[in-house]
Every structure is written in C-alpha cells, then in structure tokens.
Amino acid sequence: MPVLFIGHGSPMNIVYHNTYTRSLQTLGASLPKPEAILVVSAHWLTQGTFVCSADKPEQIYDFYGFPDELYKVQYRPPGAPAIAKSIVHELGFKNIQVDAEWGIDHASWAVLIYMYPKADIPVLEMSLDVTMNEQEHYTLAQKLSFLRKQNVLIIGSGNIVHNLHRMEYKVEAKPYPWALEFDKYIKDALLQKDIDRLLHYKKLSPVGKIAVPTNDHYLPMLYSAALQEEGEQIDFFHESIQNASISMRCFIVQ
C-alpha cells in the first residue's frame, strides 16, 4: 500500500467544500481499497505508545466551540483489534501496548469522511509518545513497514506548519512569510530525502521554532516520511496554507 501524510487543519474542514476536501475525495477514489487504515494521530498524546484495539471505536469530537453541525457529523467504521495486537507483537518493546478505550479523533474521521465516506474500512489509531524525540519517532515509524505488505494504509495526520497562536480567523487569510518559508523547507527536504533537515528543523531552519511551536502536529509527517522505501517517490497532492499559519500540505509515498 502507499503511505499518506495529510494536513487536517481546522475542524471546520469537516463541512467545507474546497480544493483541500476535493483533493481528499479524488485521492480516496484513486487508491486501492485497503484491508484497514492505521492513523498516526496528532491528537492522541500519551506516555508510551498505544494502539487502539476497540472493535467499534468511539468517534471523538475533540474540539470545542465550533458550530453545532460539526457535532452532528457521524463516522463510525469498525475497528481492527487483530491488527492492533499484531503491531504490538511485531514491535515488541515494553512501551507499546493496545488500548481498547480510545476511539478515533478528528485527525482520523475528519479526513476519512472525504476519502472513504461509507465508513466500511476498519480504522485504528496509534498515539504519539510525548517522551520520545524526533529521531526515536522516526525509528519507530520505520518498524511499521510490515503493515504495507498486509494491505494496511498508513496515514500520518497532522500539519507541517501549525501555529494556532498566530492563526487568522479567515481561512483564506494571506499566509505569513515564515509559514510559507517553512512549508517550502520541508517540501524540499522531503524531495531531497534529507532526513537530517526533517529531524533537526528547529536548528537548521531559521523559522522552525515559530512554524512548529510544539511538535505534536509535526511528528505524524515524520512517520509518513520514514516509511519511504528505496525507489519510491513522494508526490504532493495538495498544497495550501489556511488561516495564515496552518499548512495543509499533503503527500503520498509510493
């Protein structure tokens, strides 16, 4: 299976009809149907790594103060407990375990409602261990490559540039120069397979610290990049900046 990174942005994209959401619809229609979908979520932050093993994962509305229509959107796919257990077994270290209580937050369902609207493909999430650094996350991600051979679609869901303190209310607001600069910095690093620039962005990019004030939304991109194998390329199927400070860049590895 290919590997995806999807910039999910504001929950308002759940009800928007724009170039971004249309790109997800087009992508979903073009991909081979997976046996299951594993989402590395920017919104599940934990001590240790967890994989959702619920049979029927709960849909989590992990956002507040948005229009009522967003909370009426339902996306209820089945879970994949057997795959969750196989991940824990395959990786085989003490800080990874299954979690049957977690469900799917909007890093998953806000994207998948456009890609697979029938909700007929099993979905499970993987958390981000906040005690690990970028190199450790990258190394862990590489160990997930066996899933691709089992027809599991792996999606990193976050945002390359994600500064909510500087965001503008208008979706189409003019992007900050530093947001454009860092978005291009990562694009170039991905195309050049420059892993050092991806891992050490705060040191190597002059605007890294403002573009990525916290790494929760950045890390899922590293998971997707880490799964690129020899001979594969990265293609960007959407590029934009929303709210002046949120990169919606998305790519596919295949």
Q: What does pLDDT average to over the chain?
A: 97
CA atoms within 13 A on the CB side of 86: 13
Structural domain containing residue 77: 3-253
pLDDT of residue 94: 84
* 22-41 CB burial, b ≥16 within 10 A, e <16: ebbeebbeebeebebbbbbb
Residue 33 has what DSSP assignment? Answer: P
Domain count, the chain: 1
Q: Is the dihedral of CA 21, 27, 33, 37 positive or negative?
A: negative
Identify the pLDDT of residue 111.
98
The whole-number average pLDDT for the span 93-107 is 95
Tens-digit pLDDT profile for residues 175-216: 999 999 999 999 999 999 999 999 999 999 999 999 999 999
Element (H, E) at 204: helix 201-204
pLDDT band at 232 (very low <50, low <70, confident <90, very high): very high
Tokens of 161: 């540039």
The per-residue pLDDT for 92 is 87
CATH number at residue 9: 3.40.830.10
pLDDT-based confidence at residue 235 (cuts at 50, 70, 90): very high
Q: Confidence class of residue 138 from pLDDT cuts 50, 70 and 90?
A: very high
Q: Is the pTM of this model over 0.85?
A: yes
Q: How confident is the model at residue 71 (pLDDT cuts 50, 70, 90)?
A: very high
Backbone angles phi, psi at 177, to 5 degrees: -55, -40
Average pLDDT over residues 58-66: 97
pLDDT of residue 143: 97
